[in-house]
Amino acid sequence: GVPITLHLIFFQAVASPPSSNFLLLGPSGAGKTAFTTLLEAKSSPASKKSQSTHTSQQSTLVTVSLPPDVPTASNRYRSVNDPSLKEAARNPIKYRVRDTPGHGKLRVSQGLSELQAMAQSKDIKTRLRGVVFMVDTAALVDEATLRDTATYLHDVLLVLQKRAKNGSSSKRTTEIPVLVAANKQDLFTALPPGSVKEKLEAEIDRIRKSKNKGLLDASADSTLDDDEEILGNDDLESFSFKLLEHEVGVKVEVVGGAVKGDQQEEYGSGVRRWEEWIGMCL
């Protein structure tokens, strides 16, 4: 019986690969709950009506499927006539999204500790494939919102940087990429993704410069925590996502979309380009 059992285990491993986990972060009101609800509805259209509404007090983990025509890293060269497309429609690729609960400060601290736990996990079942950081692009014109959002993103990137730097060079950890989902592009007051990127980079630059200055001032006394780290490099070069990728290996992409526009196909591509980003992580 042993060989047969082994064979079955092997077959199962091939037939259903371990779930790929994505963590959904971002400030309150960005559209995270709306996004997970939409992904769930798209994954099981028949049960659309019975979708549970997510409460904001619990962390939710939903299993959703990738639309069959969205390419993944392993099948991106597939042609539209490929019979495997039909197979994909019958047996779609699944992935898991964890939405983070809470309000305000709580949301941020819970999101960050969730990220820390998932990013450090060596268990293949909980291994993190990517982080989707959602922002409300219509709200970013407000200075305080921009600062809050950039601070949150800065802290997320610092967790990933520490993880990247702690990985031994012999057994390199795969870096966890970040998608900044520039949501609400359907609103006419929304900033385009390019300017969202510029604003976030400039604000993160300000944050790290003031942190660096704080560290220099603090180094006069001996209470300095040597765990403190500066995002990107310590040079005077201004911060950019490119710099972070170059220096640390953590990739950040800013991609526009709209949860609201997805069903109508009116507003750009809805969530399609985010699903394509997810597909490339699978």
Number of H helices, E strands in the chain: 8, 6
Query: In this structure, are residues 26 and 4 in contact, taking their beta carbons and an 8 Å threshold?
Result: no
Structure-token pair, residue 171? 């057994």
Does residue 34 touch ligand GDP according to CB under 6 A? yes
Helix (H, G, I), strand (E, B) or coil at 90: helix
Does residue 42 touch ligand GDP according to CB under 6 A? no
Q: Which stretch binds ligand GDP (CB under 6 A): 39-47, 84-92, 180-188, 195-203?
A: 180-188
- Residue 164 or 182 with smaller CB distance to ligand GDP: 182
Interface residue with ligand GDP, options 184, 197, 199, 208 (CB under 6 A): 184
Query: In this structure, are residues 37 and 54 in contact, taking their beta carbons and an 8 Å threshold?
Result: yes
Interface residue with ligand GDP, options 19, 28, 65, 195 (CB under 6 A): 28
Interface residue with ligand GDP, options 19, 29, 68, 212 (CB under 6 A): 29
Of the candidates 76, 79, 199, 218, the one whose C-alpha atom is nearest the C-alpha of residue 140 is 199
- Residue 32 or 199 with smaller CB distance to ligand GDP: 32
- Residue 244 or 271 with smaller CB distance to ligand GDP: 271
The residue type at 95: Y
Torsion, Cα 251 277 156 241, to 10 degrees, reads: 30
Query: Min. distance of Cβ 107 from ligand GDP in angstroms?
Result: 8
Of the candidates 224, 103, 209, the one whose C-alpha atom is nearest the C-alpha of residue 150 is 209
CA distance 183 to 257: 5
Interface residue with ligand GDP, options 20, 21, 23, 31 (CB under 6 A): 31
Does residue 252 touch ligand GDP according to CB under 6 A? no
Note the residues at the interface with ligand GDP (CB under 6 A): 26, 28-34, 183-184, 186-187, 258-260
